Amino acid sequence: MHFDGAVFDMDGVITGTAAENFSAWKISFDDYMRQRREGGPFAPFTHEDYLATVDGRPRYEGVASFLRSRGIEIPFGDLAELPFAEIKNLVVRNGARKVPSLRMGIAEP
């Protein structure tokens, strides 16, 4: 098998997906934080949060970084074991939110 070239991870390079990524993470994190607030005030995920904790990081690191910024420490471990499964679930839900809008052509080239 011969390849003349390969293209990897063009998200955000060929398509303008930054706004789509932020929106999907906002929905995921806001839902999660509403469930975890335990009677305290709700602080929504902001664009500043996105830039400081998620943007440019691998997904799992971004989730852990954002949660850490809110005082929630979840140790990395086996994806099937709690509490790390919480991070995995956030990543999966976020990805599911992005796919339909990308298929509809909402992400700009």
Number of H helices, E strands in the chain: 4, 0
31 is catalytic: no
Among 11, 30, 31, 55, which one carries the catalytic annotation?
11
Q: Count Cβ atoms below 10 Å from residue 77 Cβ, excluding itself.
A: 12
Active-site entry in 4, 9, 30, 31:
9
What CA–CA distance (Å, rounded) separates 62 from 24? 13
Q: Is 49 a catalytic residue?
A: no
The CA-to-CA distance between both ends of the chain, in Å, stands at: 31
Give catalytic residue positions: 9, 11
